[in-house]
Amino acid sequence: MLTASLLPLLPVLTPGFGAVAGAWGARRNGVRFRDERALWIAGAALGATIAALAGEGLARRFGAAAGIGAVVGSALWLAGSLLGAWWTPALDAHDRPLSSAASVALKTLQSPLLSVAGLLLAALFAIVGRRVTLQHGTVFVSAGRGGAAVTLGAVVWAQDGLRDARGRVSDTWARHEALHARAVASLGEAGFYLAYVFLAAPWALLRHAPWNALASDGRGNPFERTAYALHTDPPAPHGEPLLASRQARA
Domain ranges in the chain are: 2-239
Q: pLDDT tens, 51-91? A: 999 998 999 898 888 888 888 999 999 999 999 999 999 99
**What pLDDT score was predicted for residue 165?**
86
Task: Give the residue among 186, 84, 178, 189 at the shortest CA–CA distance from 137.
Answer: 178
Task: Give the residue among 103, 104, 106, 109 at the shortest CA–CA distance from 122.
Answer: 104
- Cis before 234 (ω within 30): yes
What average pLDDT does the structure give for the chain?
89
The amino acid that residue 237 corresponds to is P
C-alpha distances out from residue 119 to 115, 147, 154, 157, 186, Å = 6, 22, 8, 11, 19
| Kind of pairing between the strands at 155-158 and 149-152 | antiparallel
- Section 159-171 average pLDDT: 92
Q: pLDDT tens, 115-164? A: 999 999 999 999 999 999 999 999 999 998 999 999 999 999 999 999 99
DSSP state of 239: G
Cβ-contact 13, 206 below 8 angstroms: no
The amino acid that residue 128 corresponds to is V
